[in-house]
Amino acid sequence: MDAQQLEKALGTVHALLQAEGMSEAAQVVRTYPAKAEQTGYDNWNGGTDLWDVSFEVPASEYARMGSRRSQLEEQISARLKIVLESSQDWYSAKIIPSRVVPKNWRSEGSVLPREVRTNIIDGLRLENIAWQGQMDDVEFLSRLYDLQKLPSNDYRFKDAARDIWQHCINNDDWEPYWVFSDARFGLADGSAETFLRFLCETVHPVVRPDRDSALKIVSHYNDQLRNAGWEIVEEESIGGRPRFAYREASHNGARAVSRARTVADALNAGWMAKEIQRLERAIDTDPDLAIGTAKDLVETCCKTILTNRGVAFTKSADLGDLTKLLVKELQLVPEGISDAAKGADNIRLILRNLTSIAHNLAQLRGLYGTGHGRDGQHRGLQPRHARLAVASAVAFIDFVADTYRDREVRKPIG
């Protein structure tokens, strides 16, 4: 099949998909370049050529599709068969990631732009935060560097340890943030790992024992780091205080948020997209807000699907009411299988638990929010609580959205 024949066939496939309400598959056919390639030959029934029609999509879009890729490929393949039924050949649609990759991709993970570093340092200056915490400069830097092996910038001393002691402790004639511009420590232009390891040390429990202060500083760091693909997260607890480590920002809450964005795109729900943006910013910086938003996300998903299906609900309907309507409308309980009653009970219980997790965690805002006096032992919600709420909410909306799409595909035309 030449390019002109393929283009004509795909135009008809697109029209069929649109007419049958398979808008996402239609968008793939219309948006992304396609290429037909013969992949085999079958001797059965006089001989049949086997062809793959590949749609090359950007890697980010390929990942966003997730498990739906198989469904989209099946939908496109079925229409190709209809359009090309006069041909003896067999055509299958394949969605593949684009083979265009950035230059120097092997080193990108270790890059931390200078402007990100500058913003972090400026933030410390603006808040007048001592990077060395309750330690002096020599004591802090000795935790990360062998100062006796680093050279002195003052000819009177043989190593960095004496040099720093003289100018930061004895005379105190260096400006407070001198370390970030000192080439010996590689913070301005060194590897990302060097800079990130330094940041983690500034909030170590021994360096900065005040837990709330450390969390606030980490929040400031992450506001900047996530734009460059990094984040600082709690790794373990020492004496009831968090110890932090750095990692690439590509998992935990980020995965759940990415999946939620996929659902919002599939439902064409603009308000869900706004809530997801709020979630993305709040998971690690404002757990209370993220937990409340997770509940709102479930509500919005329910309302969007019910509205699309023409199911009425009152303005006062709460999350429980909406879920009951959705379970009934989408027929989430399987029919026509053995032991259906037990299966129905199990599915209802799973759905009820998913909803109640997000809902109940949202109520914790009343216990941990501002405006109330706290005793000295009080602790607020942590990012791990937010990740639990968000993952639970996304599991719910992912399931019901997939079911909704399946019902729409099976809905009779006309």
Average pLDDT over residues 97-124: 76
> Domain for residue 102, yes or no?
no
From 38-52, 78-92, 130-144, 327-341, the region with the lowest mean pLDDT: 327-341
My answer on whether 13 and 93 are in the same domain is yes
Residue 45 pLDDT grade (very low, low, confident, very high; cuts 50, 70, 90)? low
Q: Is residue 309 in a domain?
A: yes
**Final residue of a structural domain among 227, 248, 269:** 248
Residue percentage of the chain with pLDDT more than 70: 75
Mean pLDDT in residue range 121-138: 95
pLDDT of residue 135 exceeding 80, the answer is: yes
Q: Which token pair is 111?
A: 């890059």
pLDDT at residue number 288? 75
Residue 291: which residues within 8 A CB-CB, separation 6 or more?
A: 358, 361, 362, 364, 365, 381, 385, 386, 389, 390
In a domain, 59, yes or no: yes
Find the range with the poorest average confidence among 83-87, 136-140, 285-289, 338-342.
Answer: 338-342
Closest-CA residue to 351 (of 314, 304, 301, 312): 301
- 25 & 134 share domain: no
- Residue 366 pLDDT > 80: no
For the segment 153-173, the average pLDDT, to the nearest whole number, is 93
CATH of the domain at 20: 3.30.300
DSSP per-residue letters across 324-362: HHHHHHHT-S--SSTTHHHHHHHHHHHHHHHHHHHHHHH
Final residue belonging to a domain, choices 212, 230, 248:
248
Confidence band, pLDDT 50/70/90 cuts, at residue 371: very low
Residues 73, 16 within the same domain? yes
Q: Residue 84: which pLDDT band, with cuts at 50, 70 and 90?
A: confident
Asked if residue 173 is part of any domain, the answer here is yes
Domain shared by 150 and 81, yes or no? no
Give the mean model confidence (pLDDT) for residues 112-134: 93
Domain presence at residue 357: yes
Which is more confidently placed, 386 or 134?
134
Average pLDDT over residues 64-82: 86
Mark whether 370 and 265 lie in a shared domain. yes
98 contacts: CB under 8 Å, gap ≥ 6: 56, 57, 58, 59, 62
Q: Which of 20-29, 194-203, 319-328 has the highest mean pLDDT?
A: 194-203
- Of residues 58 and 72, more confidence is placed in 72
Indicate if 226 and 347 belong to the same structural domain.
no
271 and 232 in a common domain: no
Same domain flag for 74 and 160: no
Per-residue pLDDT at 143: 95
Residue 372 has pLDDT above 50, yes or no: no
> Could you say which DSSP state residue 87 is in?
S
Q: For 7-11, 49-53, 182-186, which range has the lowest pLDDT when averaged over its residues?
A: 49-53
Instruction: Supply the range of the domain harboring residue 196.
Output: 107-248
Residues 327 and 226 in one domain: no
243 strand-pairing partners = 236
**How many folded domains does the chain comprise?**
3
- pLDDT score for 285: 67
To which residue do tokens 């649109």 refer?
18
Q: Is the pLDDT of residue 70 over 60?
A: yes
**pTM recorded for the entire structure:** 0.43
- Residues 404, 259, single domain; the answer is yes
Same domain for 240 and 258, yes or no, is: no
In terms of C-beta distances under 8 Å and separation of at least 24 residues, what long-range contacts does 209-217 make, across chains too? 209/134, 209/241, 211/240, 211/241, 211/242, 211/379, 214/241, 214/242, 214/244, 215/242, 217/124, 217/129
**In a domain? residue 287:** yes
If one compares 89 and 163, the residue with the highest pLDDT of the two is 163
Lowest mean pLDDT among 309-313, 349-353, 394-398: 349-353
Q: Does 213 reside within a domain?
A: yes
Question: Under a CB-based contact definition with an 8 Å cutoff, are residues 364 and 381 in contact?
Answer: yes
The pLDDT value given to residue 326: 85
Which tops the pLDDT comparison, 378 or 38?
38
User: What tens digit of pLDDT does each residue of 203-221 get?
Assistant: 999 999 998 899 889 988 9
What is the structure's pLDDT at 145?
94
Which stretch of 21-25, 59-63, 100-104, 149-153 has the lowest confidence by average pLDDT? 100-104
**pLDDT above 60 (res 373):** no
In a domain, 34, yes or no: yes
Please say if the pLDDT value at position 411 is more than 70. no
pLDDT tens per residue, range 317-362 = 887 788 888 888 887 765 544 555 566 677 667 766 766 765 675 5
Of 33 and 334, more confident: 33
Contact of 371 with 273, CB cutoff 8 Å: no
Domain limit, last residue, from 248, 280, 301: 248
Q: Which residues pair with 35 in a beta bridge?
A: 54
Average pLDDT, the chain: 80
Question: Do 246 and 197 form a contact (C-beta atoms < 8 A)?
Answer: yes
Residues 362 and 275 in one domain: yes
Q: Are strands 230-238 and 90-97 parallel, antiparallel or unpaired?
A: unpaired
Higher pLDDT, 273 or 371: 273
